[in-house]
Amino acid sequence: MIRRTVLPLCAALMSLAAVAGCGVLGGDDPAAEAAKKPAAGSSSKASEAQPPYDVKPLLHPDKEYFGVALDGAPSSLKPVDAFAETVGKKPDLVGSYSSWGDGFNAKGAQNVFGDGGLMYVSWEPFKPGLDRIADGSQDTYIKKYADSVRKTNVPVAISFGHEMNGGWYPWGTKDTTPATFVKAWRHIHDVFQEVGATNVVWVWSPNVINPVPSVKLKPYWPGDAYVDWVGIVGYWTQTGAHTFDTLYGPTRKQIDAFTDKPVLISETSSEPGERRRADVRALLGGVKADKDVIGFLWFNIPKRADWRIQSSPLALAEFKRLIADDDFGFEVPRS
């Protein structure tokens, strides 16, 4: 979920008050390329002997998650270390993008967990279509992916088909139906359960409804048994909403009518410009104040606009001041 006066990440919605999310398309993410290579040691006897990692302690943290998506991460932690030095605090949630057909990035998941954090995967089904996922014809791939997750045996958050309530992705409103999305989601979840890949935090992540007010969210809801967190994609633009409540509130109101799952601002950033410092203050202040919101993930990748916080010195200074608060930063349990 995103925004701008600069060319948008999702160009078709750039002029809207809240623009669609900036997923890194297949082939753009170094982590996705690395994920195609088998991870060393991911199927070792030691990992097979360990009990499955229990994600339950991660679902309701006592502090806020501080997440970031960076070029080159999490296959390498050098970008994460550099970002931590820039803002004065190490993120505990590291975002990545994986196209349907890519292998699970076991190395990235191990890197992040070894550094005390949680890898977040936006799993993007550009092909072959939700109907073919839902009908079981992709099960060989799903089982292989799920088995790699299981063998890696570290926690990972997976958001399948994010921003499904928009029309800018092939799994969105123009090319499929809510019923097919729900069927595909439940099928993937069931396959993971059958394989024993229970070390997953499942994140259902629509775009803020501001640019698509006529699309109702409830028909896309897979059900409480299939989701652990509600993720909300929503960017701050120069011409869009500029308070926490006006940007995320309308979406939250719909969601609150059918679930009380914890909420993560799962993809966000602020468009460079004179309001950026105030946007940072509104975002971090809103996350801290809202007891139902468990954190945020900042998109720190230059893609048609420079979303990196370090590109705006005043906004960076505000970010550093606010992220230093002890409320931000959740240490992922080792077991």
Q: Domain coordinates of the chain in residue numbers?
A: 11-27+55-323
Geometric angle at alpha carbon 32, from 4 and 158, rounded to 5°: 75
Q: What is the pLDDT at residue 29?
A: 41
Which are the contacts of 56, defined by CB distance < 8 A and separation ≥ 6?
Answer: none
Q: What number does CATH give the domain 11-27+55-323? A: 3.20.20.80
Q: What is the mean pLDDT of residues 212-237?
A: 98
The answer to whether residue 74 scores a pLDDT higher than 90 is yes
Q: What is the pLDDT at residue 62?
A: 95
The answer to whether residue 335 scores a pLDDT higher than 80 is no
The answer to whether residue 169 scores a pLDDT higher than 80 is yes
How does residue 23 score in pLDDT terms, banded at 50, 70 and 90? low
**Residue 133, CA distances (Å) to 178, 199, 230, 309 in order:** 14, 21, 22, 37
Q: What is the mean pLDDT of residues 180-198?
A: 98
The answer to whether residue 5 scores a pLDDT higher than 50 is no
Active site residues: 163, 267
Model pLDDT for residues 263-314, shown as the tens digit of each residue? 999 999 999 999 999 999 999 999 999 999 999 999 999 998 999 999 999 9
Look-up of token digits 């970002």:
83
- E strand or H helix at 97: strand 93-99
Instruction: Measure CA 298 to chain center.
Output: 9
Residue from 276, 286, 278 nearest 308 by CA? 276
Query: How many H-runs (helices) and E-runs (strands) does the chain carry?
Result: 11, 8
The answer to whether residue 325 scores a pLDDT higher than 50 is yes
pLDDT mean across residues, the chain: 89
Q: What is the pLDDT at residue 18?
A: 43
The answer to whether residue 133 scores a pLDDT higher than 60 is yes
Q: Give the Cα separation of 23 and 37 in Å (integer).
A: 22
Q: What is the pLDDT at residue 21?
A: 54
Which are the contacts of 205, defined by CB distance < 8 A and separation ≥ 6?
Answer: 122, 159, 162, 163, 230, 231, 232, 233, 266, 267
How does residue 331 score in pLDDT terms, banded at 50, 70 and 90? confident
Model pLDDT for residues 25-54, shown as the tens digit of each residue? 333 343 344 434 444 444 445 445 789 999
The pTM of this model reads 0.88
Q: What is the pLDDT at residue 44?
A: 45
